[in-house]
């Protein structure tokens, strides 16, 4: 479980995050949603410690990231896996070496065992026979899957994904979403996903935090989100006509016809 308490962050004179309070649950897919520029990436970077907040606490099962010593922080980091918006694979290494990298760095297993673990992770994300290729030879969707494999190689307790399906077609996005959700449930990971894709929200959002202009405006699940009573959230969800029509017919079915 990760708790964010009274978090503030600004750049120079621009306040980006204003008093964020939210909880991300264990074994669930936690989503952070919001418009482009609302501060999702900044929030996630604060949570993983790539940025330092001005004020506030980030508790990893009770351990406050901001007050940990360097050593403790680097130990905590080994329990984290992260998938970046751009996949961020090491382009000087082959795909297999990429997945083996965290193992080579931190595991005391033999080379054979490490290789086996890496191959298992690649199989888990449905990649076969790509180990010897370099990341540049893979498609965007495959790169994302390699990034997932690398992130889960050390069996993390916390998994972070910054827009895992940006730049992917709807079908591939769903495959990636389902992979993330599947891994989360199987291994009881605390997963946080940044997204503005409504397909992901409806598909895998078990615990959703909606960010608007740096404030956490709403939290709830995908079952509650369509009937949520929040002006900003409604504007965000029903930005497209198709969804607006869906909502109208949904409301009609439930006897709440408009007008």
- Write out the residues near ligand ATP by the rule CB under 6 A: 11, 14, 16, 34, 36-42, 196
Residue 50 as a binder of another protein (CB under 8 A): the answer is yes
CB of 52 to ligand ATP, least distance (A): 12
CB of 41 to Mg ion, least distance (A): 3
| Residues 6 or more apart in contact with residue 89 via CB below 8 angstroms | 95, 98, 135, 143, 146, 147, 150
Neighbours of 72 (CB within 10 A): 12
Answer for which of 26, 35, 85, 230 binds another protein (CB under 8 A) is 85
- Residues 195-254 interacting with another protein (rule: CB under 8 A): none
| Residues 6 or more apart in contact with residue 179 via CB below 8 angstroms | 124, 125, 126, 145, 148
| Residues 6 or more apart in contact with residue 45 via CB below 8 angstroms | 51
The distance between the two most distant Cα atoms of the chain, rounded to a whole number of Å, is 69
Residue 102 as a binder of another protein (CB under 8 A): the answer is yes
Report the DSSP beta bridge partners of residue 216: 211
Name the residue among 232, 166, 152, 230 with its Cα closest to residue 199.
166
Give the Cα separation of 55 and 136 in Å (integer).
40
**Region of 57-65, 85-93, 197-205, 251-259 interacting with another protein (CB under 8 A):** 85-93
Q: How many residues bind Mg ion (CB under 5 A)?
A: 1
CB of 45 to ligand ATP, least distance (A): 8
Residue among 22 and 41 whose Cβ is closer to Mg ion: 41
Answer for which of 22, 30, 38, 41 binds Mg ion (CB under 5 A) is 41
CB of 163 to Mg ion, least distance (A): 6
Q: Which does 16 bind (CB under 5 to 8 A by kind): Mg ion, another protein, ligand ATP, none?
A: ligand ATP
Residue 90 as a binder of another protein (CB under 8 A): the answer is yes
Order across the sheet with 190-195: list the strands: 80-83, 158-162, 190-195, 29-33, 207-212, 215-220
Query: What's CA 1's distance to the chain center, in Å?
Result: 14
Q: Which residue number has the CB closest to Mg ion?
A: 41
Q: Which does 37 bind (CB under 5 to 8 A by kind): another protein, Mg ion, ligand ATP, none?
A: ligand ATP
| Residues 6 or more apart in contact with residue 155 via CB below 8 angstroms | 187
CB of 82 to ligand ATP, least distance (A): 14
Q: Assess contact for 10 and 4: CB atoms under 8 A.
A: no
Give the Cα separation of 156 and 71 in Å (integer).
18
Residue 190 as a binder of Mg ion (CB under 5 A): the answer is no
Residue among 66 and 88 whose Cβ is closer to another protein: 88
Contacting residues toward another protein, per CB under 8 A: 48, 50, 73-78, 80-82, 84-86, 88-91, 101-102, 104-106, 154, 160
């Amino acid at each position: 479980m990760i708790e964010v308490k009274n978090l503030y962050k600004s750049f120079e004179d621009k306040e980006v995050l204003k008093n964020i309070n939210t909880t991300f649950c264990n074994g669930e897919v936690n989503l952070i949603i919001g418009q482009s520029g609302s501060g999702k990436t900044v929030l996630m970077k604060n949570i993983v410690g790539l940025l330092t907040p001005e004020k506030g606490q980030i508790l990893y099962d009770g351990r406050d990231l901001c007050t940990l010593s360097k050593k403790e922080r680097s130990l905590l980091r080994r329990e984290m896996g992260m998938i970046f918006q751009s996949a961020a694979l090491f382009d000087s290494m082959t795909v297999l070496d990429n997945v083996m990298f965290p193992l080579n760095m931190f595991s005391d297993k033999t080379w054979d065992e490490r290789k086996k673990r890496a191959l298992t992770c690649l199989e888990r994300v449905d990649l076969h026979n790509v180990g010897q290729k370099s990341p540049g030879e893979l498609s965007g969707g495959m790169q994302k899957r390699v990034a997932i494999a690398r992130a889960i190689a050390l069996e993390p307790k916390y998994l972070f994904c910054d827009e895992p399906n940006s730049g992917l077609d709807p079908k591939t996005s769903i495959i990636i979403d389902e992979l993330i959700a599947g891994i989360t449930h199987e291994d009881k990971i605390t997963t946080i996903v940044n997204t503005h894709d409504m397909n992901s929200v409806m598909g895998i959002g078990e615990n959703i935090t909606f960010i608007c202009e740096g404030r956490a405006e709403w939290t709830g699940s995908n079952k509650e989100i369509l009937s949520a009573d929040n002006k900003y959230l409604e504007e965000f969800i029903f930005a497209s006509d198709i969804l607006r029509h869906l909502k109208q017919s949904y409301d009609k079915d439930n006897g709440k016809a408009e007008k």
